[in-house]
C-alpha cells in the first residue's frame, strides 16, 4: 500500500461521517495489464500515484461534503480523463487509423438509471456526456456523430482531436503497427494495449454509483467497442453493489462481468469481495480474459481483484483505510 501524506489524510478525514455511523467509501482504477516495476520509470510511477491520490481525494471530498455518489464518481473519473497517464480522455490510445474513439458509462445504483456513450472523437470528457445521457435524455446509450450532436446541443466542451495525443500513446501505437506488419494479426498482444479508468462510490444516504471511461484498445479496428460503455459488462450498479471493470473487453462482454459480480453477491449471499475475486481470478481467467475490477458494497467494503501483473487502483473504505497501489504485491 502506498503511504500518502499524513497531513493529507488527517485533513480529509477529520470530522468525517465515516466515523460517525454513516459509512462513506470510494474506489478508483486507472487500468490493468502488464504493469511491472522493472519497466516503470520512477518519475512516471510517482506521477501516476499522485494522479490516483488526487482523483481519489477529490471524489471522497465530494462524499464528505454531502454530495451524492454520482457526483463523487464523476469528479474522480473526470480527473483521470484529464490526466495524460491513463487511457481515457487526454492520453487515450490510438485506433488503427491513428485516431481516438472514446467510450464511457455511468450508473445510479439506487434507481438503476444509466447513461453510456461510444465511439465519440471530439468530446473532451466523455463521462460528462454519459451523465447527460442518463439525466437529460430518454435513452441509455448513444454513439458516434449522434452522441456528439447531443453533446453540442447541451454545450459540452469539444476539443481538437489532437488534444488526446500523447507521445507515449503514439509510441505505443507505432509499436503495435510494427508488430502487426512483422507477424500479422496473430502477433498482436491485447494484454499490452488496453486500459480504462473508473470509480465506484457509496454516499452518506447509502446510494451507490459506478462510472467508467476509456479510449479502448490500441490499434482497434472497424469501430470496435469494448465493455466499458456496456451496462452489465464493464459498468454496473444496483442498491447493493457497484462495479467498474478494466481489461480485455471482449471477454468482459462475453462474461457480463460487472453484473455477474453483483448477481453472485446477491443470489449466492456471498460478499462482494468473494464474488469479485471468483469472477476475475477464476471464471474470467479460465476463458483467457485478463483484467480486473473495483467493487463496492452498501456497507462500504471495497474489493479490487485483478489477474494481471498490475492494476492502477486506489480506495478509501468505510473504516477510513486508504490504499493507493499499482503492482500485484501491494496490498
Which three cell numbers, joined as nine digits, stand for 322? 486508504
pTM value surpassing 0.85: yes
- Say if residue 52's pLDDT is above 80: yes
Least confident of 17-26, 95-104, 148-157: 17-26
Averaged pLDDT for residues 286-300:
96
- Say if residue 7's pLDDT is above 70: no
Q: What contacts 68, CB < 8 A, 6 or more positions away?
A: 203, 205, 207, 209
Residue 50 lies in a domain: yes
CA 88: distance to chain centroid?
A: 9
Residue 12, CB-side half-sphere exposure with 13 Å CA sphere: 22
Consecutive H or E run containing 102: strand 102-108
Cβ 81 vs Cβ 74: under 8 Å: no
Residue 28 lies in a domain: yes
Averaged pLDDT for residues 128-154:
98
- Provide the pLDDT for residue 98: 93
Q: If we measure between CA atoms, which residue out of 247, 306, 249, 234 comes closest to residue 276?
A: 306
Residue 3 lies in a domain: no
- Provide the pLDDT for residue 189: 55
As annotated, the active-site residues are: 196
Mean pLDDT of the chain: 91
- Provide the pLDDT for residue 34: 85
- Provide the pLDDT for residue 3: 42
Please tell me the chain's helix, strand, coil percentages from 3-state DSSP, rounded to the nearest 5: 40, 25, 35
Residue 10 lies in a domain: no
pLDDT, tens only, 187-220: 455 555 678 999 999 999 999 999 999 999 999 9
- Provide the pLDDT for residue 2: 46
- Provide the pLDDT for residue 181: 84
Least confident of 60-64, 202-206, 327-331: 327-331
- Say if residue 14's pLDDT is above 60: no
- Say if residue 21's pLDDT is above 80: no
CATH number where 317 lies: 3.60.20.30
Distance (Å, whole) CA 100 – CA 220: 10
Residue 106 lies in a domain: yes
Averaged pLDDT for residues 45-66:
98
User: pLDDT: is 75 or 14 the higher one?
Assistant: 75
- Say if residue 234's pLDDT is above 90: yes
Q: State the residue range of the domain holding 164.
A: 23-327
Q: In the beta sheet, which residues pair with residue 228? A: none
How confident is residue 17, by pLDDT bands cut at 50, 70 and 90?
very low
Cβ 213 vs Cβ 197: under 8 Å: yes
**Number of independent structural domains in the chain:** 1
Averaged pLDDT for residues 256-270:
98
Amino acid at each position: 500500500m502506498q503511504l500518502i501524506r499524513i497531513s493529507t489524510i488527517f485533513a480529509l478525514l477529520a470530522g468525517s461521517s465515516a466515523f460517525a455511523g454513516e459509512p462513506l467509501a470510494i474506489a478508483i482504477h486507472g487500468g490493468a495489464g502488464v504493469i511491472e516495476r522493472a519497466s516503470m520509470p520512477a518519475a512516471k510511477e510517482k506521477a501516476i500515484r499522485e494522479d490516483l491520490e488526487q482523483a481519489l481525494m477529490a471524489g471522497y471530498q465530494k462524499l464528505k461534503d454531502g454530495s451524492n455518489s454520482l457526483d463523487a464518481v464523476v469528479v474522480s473519473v473526470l480527473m483521470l480523463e484529464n490526466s495524460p497517464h491513463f487511457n481515457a480522455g487526454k492520453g487515450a490510445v490510438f485506433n488503427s487509423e491513428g485516431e481516438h474513439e472514446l467510450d464511457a458509462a455511468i450508473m445510479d445504483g439506487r434507481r438503476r438509471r444509466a447513461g453510456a456513450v461510444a465511439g465519440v472523437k471530439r468530446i473532451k470528457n466523455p463521462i460528462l456526456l454519459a451523465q447527460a445521457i442518463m439525466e437529460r435524455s430518454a435513452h441509455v446509450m448513444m454513439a458516434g456523430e449522434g452522441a456528439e450532436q447531443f453533446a453540442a446541443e447541451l454545450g459540452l466542451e469539444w476539443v481538437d482531436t489532437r488534444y488526446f495525443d500523447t507521445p507515449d500513446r503514439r509510441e505505443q501505437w507505432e509499436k503495435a503497427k510494427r508488430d502487426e506488419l512483422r507477424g500479422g494479426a496473430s502477433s498482436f498482444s491485447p494484454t499490452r494495449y488496453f486500459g480504462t479508468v473508473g470509480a465506484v462510490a457509496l454516499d452518506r444516504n447509502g446510494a451507490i454509483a459506478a462510472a467508467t471511461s476509456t479510449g479502448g484498445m490500441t490499434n482497434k479496428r472497424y469501430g470496435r467497442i469494448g465493455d466499458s460503455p456496456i451496462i452489465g459488462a464493464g459498468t454496473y450498479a444496483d442498491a447493493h453493489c457497484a462495479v467498474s471493470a478494466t481489461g480485455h473487453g471482449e471477454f468482459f462482454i462475453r462474461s457480463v462481468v460487472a453484473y455477474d459480480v453483483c448477481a453472485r453477491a446477491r443470489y449466492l449471499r456471498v460478499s462482494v469481495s468473494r464474488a469479485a475475486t471468483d469472477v476475475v481470478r477464476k471464471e474470467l481467467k479460465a476463458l483467457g480474459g485478463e483484467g480486473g475490477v473495483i467493487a463496492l458494497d452498501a456497507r462500504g467494503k471495497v474489493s479490487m481483484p485483478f489477474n494481471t501483473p498490475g492494476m492502477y487502483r486506489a480506495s478509501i473504505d468505510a473504516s477510513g483505510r486508504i490504499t493507493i497501489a499499482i503492482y500485484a504485491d501491494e496490498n
